[in-house]
Structures are given as C-alpha cells and as structure tokens.
Amino acid sequence: MPPTHNRYQRYAERLGEPVTDDLKDFVDGLDAPYLAAPLPETLRHFTPSAHSTDEELLAMSLPPPESTPVVTRHIPPHDGDRSPRSRVSFGLVAAIVFVVVVVSIFATKQVFAPQTAQRPQTTSSPTASPIPTATPQPPATKVYVRCLTISLQEPTSPATNCDAVPPTKSVPINSLVNLLYCYTADIPLPSAIAAKVTYPDGKSSIASGGLLVGQPPCDGSGTHVDQTGQYTVQIYWNPATNLKQPIRQPIDPVKDHTWQLQITELFTVI
Amino acid sequence: MAEATEEAQIIAAAQRDPQAFDALYARYVRRIYRYALAQLHDADEAADATQQTFLRAWQSLKRYRADYTFAAWLFGIARHVISGLRSGRPATVSWENVPEDAQPLARTGNPEAVALLRESHTHMQQLLRRLSSEKQELLALYRDDDLTVAEIAVILGKNPETVRKQIARTLKTLREHYHAANT
C-alpha cells in the first residue's frame, strides 16, 4: 500500500513545501516499509492467551468454551538420560505437581473454578485410562490449565509416545525443541497451547499459538496436533542474534553452543 | 463525528461485554502493530508488543474514560509496552526483512528505478535509526495518518504546539540528510 496523496499533502504542509516527486520519494522512503509491513498471522485475531504472563493467563476471563471439564495428569519421567539439572528440575516439578492450578474466571465476575484432579500415572501412553475429571465447568467459561505433563524431545527424536520429563528442563540450543502435551481421550482438545520460555539472558516469554495442523506459524512458535493427539510447540531461538527466528529463515543448528534454553512452564487453553 | 459516536458505542459495548472487544481490536491492530514495528524494527517483537498492548487494554478497558480519545489511550499503552521491550534489548533485524513482494515499487515500474528506490528507502531507514529514540517515537506516531497532533501530544504528555514544532524540525532534518545523500 503506497502512501496516498493525502499523506504526501500532510508531510508537505508540515515541511512547508509543495508536493513534488522529490517529496514523494522522501515520504515513500519514510513510510512505505512501514505501510507495507504485513500484519503477522498471529495478530489476525485477538487471542489473550497468546502473549501473556502466567499470572495474566490465570487471571484472565475468556469467551465461552466449547464444552467440558478439563483434567491434567502427571506422567513420571523415564530414568533414561536425565541430567543432574533435570533431576533438580524434577524435584521442583514434583513439588509443583500438587499445586496444579486450574483456574477459571467468569468473563466478568472473576470467579475461580474448581481445581482439576491430577495424579501420577505409570503408563506413558496417550490413550491411557481416563482420569477423574474435575467438576464440570459452568458454561461461558474457558479454563486455563497449568500443564505439568509435558515432554521435551530433541527434534531428531520423533514423538512416538508421551514419555514425560520434568517440564522445567534445559535443552541445548539446536534450533528446535518439541514440547509434547499428553492427554487422554476424555480431555477436550486445547484451543491453544503456550510455553513459558526463559532465555539465557534471563528474559522470558510465552510462546504460543493456535492449533495449526501441519502448518507451523511464521513467528517461530506455535502448535501442531497430529492424529494421536500430541501437541507440539516449536520454539526457535538463534543464539547468534538473540532472536526468535521465523520459520521462513531457518537456523543452522549451533552444535557446540553452550547456552541453554529453558522451558519453565506450559499452559494450555481449553 | 459519526465515526467518533460509533467508536464510543463500540467501546461502551466492549466495557459491558469483553467479547465485543474484537471490534476494537480489528479497528486498531494494524495501527498499533505498525507503530510498534516502526520502533522495534523487529516483526516478532512488534507482534509481541501489539499483543501485550491489546491484552492490557482489554484488561483495563473498564477504567477507560473518554477524557481523551481511545486512540490516544491505546497508543499510550503501546508506548509503555514498547518502552519496556526496548530497554536493554540488543539491536535486532531490520526493515530489510520486510518481504520483497511487500515492498513498494517505483512509480515507473522500471526495474532499475525499483532498485534505486529500494536503495534509497534502505538509506532512509538507516537515517531514521540514527535519530534519537524520542524522535523515532515522534515520527512513528506522526506516521499514523489518523492520529492528530493533539493526540500525539496526549500520548507523549507534551504541549501540542511543542509537538508540532518537534515534528516539523525532525522531518526537516531528516529531509536534508536524505536529500544530501541522494544528490
């Protein structure tokens, strides 16, 4: 969208000049990139869950839900190759597991919804037996779940099951981390998923997206759901520039980079 | 006037029913995003800032009073959000990341003219970045066609006449540098 004549006129008046081609070039140079910048896909709709802090997420009132109560469950980690750091993290998680918060807030009344049930589980299958559900939510309420049952896997390890590791886990910066959110068939599909990511510089952000089946969004983070019901948040981070890179600019993995990306929390919006 | 009345109705509706906020979002999202992008120079950060701005506006909409326009109020929120994001962050990607097919063509359509124009646009963006953050902010607001100088003054907490003079002065300086580099 090129600057309009009115825009040229506006600048001309401010500069005390007539509208000439020279002035138009100046205004184009000043404004054209600004006007031409496309609105990111993530901003097409207002999604209050997308970029908020955890407190905001939990304190927020939302549009009506499609349905049903929500449960979360905890899946114990494999013993595999857990690092000391992740052991510590798991300790933290174990403590937090008992404090899983399911808060629902009515659109205007700020009423807390009942907490969800959660219990350890011995199987890692995503189709494991149903877990007791929470008290049904009243209509016109969405529920945010602080999810503690996530898995982190290296991108080279295809997600074949929901083997859980502590949700607070540092992973090498190799451009991509998959977060898997496990759920059972009685849990409604989340409409969005978000992960709180703490970067090496101490800053953190919420990476999130709607369910974009087979189509990762361009903002470097987003979700994917496949037929087995595994949710993936892909988080890209380029340690060279400290930028979350869009997928259209793939990053070469930095194999020997020592910085760590820390996934500290995962939220789902159901 | 009719538009102001319509907007007042939309705001009142959104204050009663949060779902009605979508109409305000649709009306302002592009403007806020451009404002953020003009200052942050990074599409991802600008998108984050835009989301945060609307989130805060949504949460505090009930406190909005029509002492000044909704645009001034919303841009004021955006200003605070952007200010928070700007502090202590490293320089990031540039305007060159705007997809080529989204960049403007020269009025002639001639490939050579297009190349020259893009070069001068790039130079303009470099000049813009050399401005102080206050001047960059001023121009980012002025570039929004629908913001009046009075509204910009409210957003910046300055006298309208002062803002008017600062805009003219900044544009003239920029124009001189631009002209000097292109002759």
pLDDT, average across residues B124-141: 86
What is the tens place of the pLDDT at every residue in B39-48? Answer: 888 888 888 8
A10–B contact, CB cutoff 8 A: yes
Same domain, yes or no: A121 and A225: yes
The verdict on a CB contact (< 8 Å) between B51 and A56 is no
Rounded Cα distance, A243 and A245, in Å: 6
* Residue that wins the pLDDT comparison between A17 and A110: A17
User: Is pLDDT of B102 > 90?
Assistant: no
Supply the DSSP symbol for B159.
-
Q: Residue A5: how many CB atoms within 10 A of its CB?
A: 10
B91–A contact, CB cutoff 8 A: no
Same domain, yes or no: A144 and A267: yes
Three-state SS string over B36-86 comes to HHHHHCCHHHHHHHHHHHHHHHHHHHHHCCCCCCHHHHHHHHHHHHHHHHH
The total number of structural domains in chain A stands at 2
User: Is pLDDT of A10 > 80?
Assistant: yes
Same domain, yes or no: A20 and A133: no
B125–A contact, CB cutoff 8 A: yes
What is the tens place of the pLDDT at every residue in A241-250? Answer: 333 333 222 2
User: Bridge-partner residues for A104, per DSSP?
Assistant: A143
A38–B contact, CB cutoff 8 A: yes
CA angle at residue B97 from A198 to B34, to 5 degrees?
80
* Residue that wins the pLDDT comparison between A19 and A53: A19
Q: Residue A19: how many CB atoms within 10 A of its CB?
A: 15
Same domain, yes or no: A30 and A161: no
Rounded Cα distance, A98 and A119, in Å: 9
What is the tens place of the pLDDT at every residue in A102-157? Answer: 333 333 333 323 333 232 232 233 333 333 333 333 333 333 333 333 333 333 33
Same domain, yes or no: A153 and A65: yes
Same domain, yes or no: A108 and A21: no
Question: How much is the pLDDT for B64?
Answer: 82
Task: Specify whether domain B2-93+131-181 bears CATH 1.10.1740.10.
Answer: yes
Rounded Cα distance, B128 and B147, in Å: 20
The verdict on a CB contact (< 8 Å) between A38 and B99 is yes
What is the domain extent for residue A167? 41-270
- pLDDT band of residue B167 (cuts 50, 70, 90) is very high
B65–A contact, CB cutoff 8 A: no
Q: How far are the Cα atoms of A74, A267, B9 from residue A100, in angstroms, in the given order?
A: 10, 11, 40
Question: Which ipTM did the prediction report?
Answer: 0.74
Domain ranges for chain B: 2-93+131-181
CA angle at residue B83 from B77 to B86, to 5 degrees?
140
Most confident of A59-63, A123-127, B22-26: B22-26
Scored b (16 or more CB within 10 A) or e, A72-84 reads: bbbbbbeeeeeee
What is the tens place of the pLDDT at every residue in B39-76? Answer: 888 888 888 888 888 888 887 888 787 777 889 889 98
What is the tens place of the pLDDT at every residue in A198-212? Answer: 555 555 554 443 332
Same domain, yes or no: A26 and A137: no
Question: How much is the pLDDT for B114?
Answer: 56
Tell me the backbone φ, ψ of residue A250, rounded to 5 degrees.
-60, 150
| Chain A residues inside the 8 Å CB shell of B37 | 34, 37
Task: Show Cβ contacts of residue A23 under 8 Å, excluding neighbours closer than 6 positions.
Answer: A8, A11, A12, A15, A17
Tell me the backbone φ, ψ of residue A192, rounded to 5 degrees.
-160, 160
Query: Which residue in B has a C-alpha nearest to residue A140's C-alpha?
Result: B19
Rounded Cα distance, B47 and A41, in Å: 9
Rounded Cα distance, A145 and A46, in Å: 20
Q: Which amino acid is at A182?
A: C
User: Is pLDDT of B32 > 90?
Assistant: yes
pLDDT, average across residues A16-21: 87
To which H or E segment does residue A14 belong? helix A5-15
* Helix, strand, coil % over all residues of chain B, rounded to 5: 80, 0, 20
Same domain, yes or no: A257 and A152: yes
Would you state the structure tokens that stand for residue A243, as one six-digit string? 């930028």
